[in-house]
Amino acid sequence: MKKYILFFLLLLIVPVSYKLYRIYQHQNDLKEAKELSIGKSVPNIELVTNSGKKILLRNQKGKIIVVEFWASWCKYCLAEIPQINSFYKGIKDNPDIEFISIAIDEDIKDAQKIIESKGIKYPVAYDKKLSNGSWKYMDKFRVVGVPSIWVIDKRGKIVALNLQTIKEAKRVISSLDSKGGSN
């Protein structure tokens, strides 16, 4: 009988402990997201692109990083794709700039269809909705709508957030280039 009681208690304790851990982790993520603003460090996020390349954002110091959030259902995001393709073509061989796009579709296949049909040439990572309803990357970046473009300077500090177009990001990058990569 004692074995059954112990087994039953373990069945209760493990899921409850896991749920409490997830709540604690989510609260830490939200705290980190609330602290994001101009001049703050980029979140410590590892992204894996559609080509399998791993990018750890905090390890990109010495490079200007441009992060773009988009979704297949966003008409403004889709309209921006040709400009981003053009931008990426101009910087893809530049060792001082890293560009990463993050698709926030609930079904990865929706983003993959757009990548194929629109001829997206730049690296794309896929965000995913977690079991608690939050998004793995979007919530860390405190993204409230798409498109959303962030620029991080060579010191790993956020210099622009929630930009709507790559044209705006280019202006920020130009100002960084004229200042040696940071504000």
pLDDT digits (tens, 9 = 90+) for 142-181: 888 999 999 999 999 999 999 999 999 999 999 987 665 5
Each residue's pLDDT tens digit, 94-136: 999 999 999 999 899 999 999 999 999 999 999 988 888 888 8
Q: What is the mean pLDDT of residues 13-27?
A: 53
**Of the candidates 166, 41, 39, the residue with the CA atom closest to the CA atom of residue 91:** 166
pTM: 0.78
Task: Give 73-124 as a DSSP string.
Answer: T-HHHHHHHHHHHHHHHHHTT-TTEEEEEEE--SSHHHHHHHHHHHT--S-E
Q: What is the mean pLDDT of residues 52-67?
A: 90
* Alpha-carbon gap, residue 34 to 28, rounded angstroms: 10
**Of the candidates 55, 25, 14, 59, the residue with the CA atom closest to the CA atom of residue 132:** 25
> 103 vs 140, which has greater pLDDT?
103
Q: What is the mean pLDDT of residues 69-87?
A: 97
**pLDDT at position 179, please?**
67
The type of residue at 149 is I
* Alpha-carbon gap, residue 20 to 32, rounded angstroms: 18
> 129 vs 93, which has greater pLDDT?
93
Task: Check whether 26 has a pLDDT greater than 50.
Answer: no
Q: What is the mean pLDDT of residues 40-50?
A: 88
- Give the burial class of 138: count Cβ atoms within 10 A of its Cβ; 0-12 exposed, 13-18 middle, 19 or more buried: buried
71 three-class SS: coil
**pLDDT at position 30, please?**
46
**pLDDT at position 141, please?**
86
Q: Which CATH number describes the domain made up of 35-178? A: 3.40.30.10
Residue with tokens 């530049």: 94
Residue with tokens 């798409």: 146
> Is the Cβ–Cβ distance between 151 and 127 less than 8 Å?
no
**pLDDT at position 22, please?**
52
**Of the candidates 68, 83, 62, the residue with the CA atom closest to the CA atom of residue 160:** 68
Q: What is the mean pLDDT of residues 10-14?
A: 58
* Alpha-carbon gap, residue 183 to 179, rounded angstroms: 7
Delimit the domains of the chain by residue range: 35-178
